Structure 1
Amino acid sequence: MKAAYTKPFLTAAFIILLDQIIKIWVRKHMILGDEIRFLGNRGMLHYTENNGMAFGMELGGEFGKLALTLFRIVAVCGIGYALVFLIKHKYHRGLIMMVALILAGALGNIIDSTFYGVIYKYAGLFHGRVVDMFYFPLLTGSFPKWLPIWGGEEFIFFRPVFNLADASISIGVIMILLNQKRYFKQEEPEVSSPNSEMVEE
């Protein structure tokens, strides 16, 4: 039974470690706003930090920041419990691995928001900023002028800057949504036919 726990938790640990290595490298070798292009204008490292949720979304104010960090910690405890439950009750291996990805991503960003402020001496405990760096503006242009509200404004896809932890969470959630029927398939109980009961008698 112990072997069943090894792969998902090792996978989560590897993602957390790699996520932190990338973030530490970015902080050490880049300054805010720096860019290192590896796919021209379509893919780059763009160093930014945010006070909020995945992909740069934010929850305003110091209280909002504290509440978000504490919520993340509670959520990670719940995800960790769910992962142990799924393994213990032998759920689909794909589902277990996707929950492990979500756990890894959540923990990766919690480390930033909980400890980075103290480690890098710019804020107190639970008030650190999450480091983001991956930016893929694959499509750029402008909305047609005749379009209501956004007419003439710049259009960028994909606009958010994210990190490995964000990507891990997104992949886990998307794969669970796409594979619900397979991951949560219930075995139908066998129904004995009248003839089989007569044979038994």
Structure 2
Amino acid sequence: RRRLAIARALAVEPRVLLLDEPLANIDPTARKTLRLELAKLHRDLAVTTIHATRNAADALALSDRLAVTGGGRVLQVGDPDELYHRPSSRAVAEALGPANFVPVGVVEVRDLGVVVETEGGHRVPVAGIGAFHEGSRGLLVLRPETLSLVEAAMARGPGIPGRVALRVFEGARHLYEIEVGGREPVRVEVPSSGVIPIFRLGDGVRVEVSSDTVVLIPETAR
């Protein structure tokens, strides 16, 4: 039925196509298949398409340019990759997928970034920041798939120590929740490749953070 509706809309060769939640209420497997079909249609027909959706995966997969809205206004506009990895606010980050938000303060300003300190006293470098000064308050935005886990005793790089509070196996990946002494646990996604060690509940670990993938937003940018 969805395919037929889209085919009818395309039959008149529109200059602009408006799609309002075309993949809503479809089971996840079929949704992925139809998402690929829509992407191929857009590629082959080159029809300008305005796609309205509340689903982050649909928005990221089917857009060349993406606008995130909230509260009746546009919050951020840009390339999907840019908005996902460099959100300007917590609302934008949350709209596009799972993220951890860690309150921090800026303790050092460098030529190519800043160093921030968590409420637990752990320091993390952040690259490419120009609008912050020493003493600024902010939120670290940490996407779960950009983080890694190592045994606490083996830790070498910048990161946040904690303990495994939860592990869920999802076939292609393990989802962890790490208690770090803050307000909320930090979620980490790790591929289940068989090469990366599996941690158990209560294990002491370190959440390793790359300065190139972490984002710092102002504390007021909600």
If the length of structure 2 is used for normalisation, what is the TM-score? 0.20
If each structure's helix is expressed as a fraction of its own residues, which one has the higher value?
Answer: 1
Q: Which has the higher contact order (CA 8 A, sep 6+)?
A: 1
If the length of structure 1 is used for normalisation, what is the TM-score? 0.22
Q: Larger Rg: 1 or 2?
A: 1
